[in-house]
Structure 1
Amino acid sequence: MGRQLFSKALCFKAPYFSSIKPLMADLRPGAAEVQVKKHRAVLNHLGTVHAIAMCNMAELAGGMMTDVSIPTTHRWIPKGMKVEYLKKATTDLSAKASGQLPEVWPESGEFVAHVDIQDLHGVSVARMEIAMWVSAKK
Structure 2
Amino acid sequence: MATSNQMTRLVGKLDGLPSGMKPSLQSFLLGNVVPFLGTAKLRFEHISQAQVVVSIKNRRRVQNHIKGVHAAAMALLAETATGFAVGMHLPDDKLPLIKTLKVDYLKRAQGDMKAVAALREDQIIAITTLEKGEVSVPVVITDASGESPIQCEMIWAWVPKKRS
Query: TM-score normalized by structure 1?
Result: 0.89
Other structure's SS at 1:69 match: coil
Matched length: 138
Greater strand share, structure number: 1
Alignment of 1:30-109 (within 5 A): 30-100=50-120, 101-104=123-126, 105-109=129-133
1:117 aligned partner: 141
Compare CA radii of gyration and give the structure with the larger one.
2
Q: Give the Cα separation in 2 of the matches to 1:112 and 1:14.
A: 21
The percentage of counterpart residues that share the same residue type is: 31
Q: Is 1:27 aligned to residue 47 of structure 2?
A: yes
Looking at structure 1, the residues matched to 160 and 83 of structure 2 have their Cα atoms a distance apart, in angstroms, of 17
What are structure 1's unaligned runs of at least 5 residues? Answer: none
**TM-score of the superposed pair, with normalisation by structure 2:** 0.76
Structure 1: distance between partners of 2:23 and 2:124: 28
Provide, for residues 35-62 of structure 1, a one-character-per-residue CA deviation record: whole Å limited to 9, x for no partner. 1111001111111111100011111111
Which is richer in helix? Answer: 2
RMSD: 1.7
**Following superposition, which runs of at least 4 residues in structure 1 exceed 6 angstroms of deviation?**
none
Structure 2 Cα separation of the partners of residues 12 and 74 of structure 1: 20
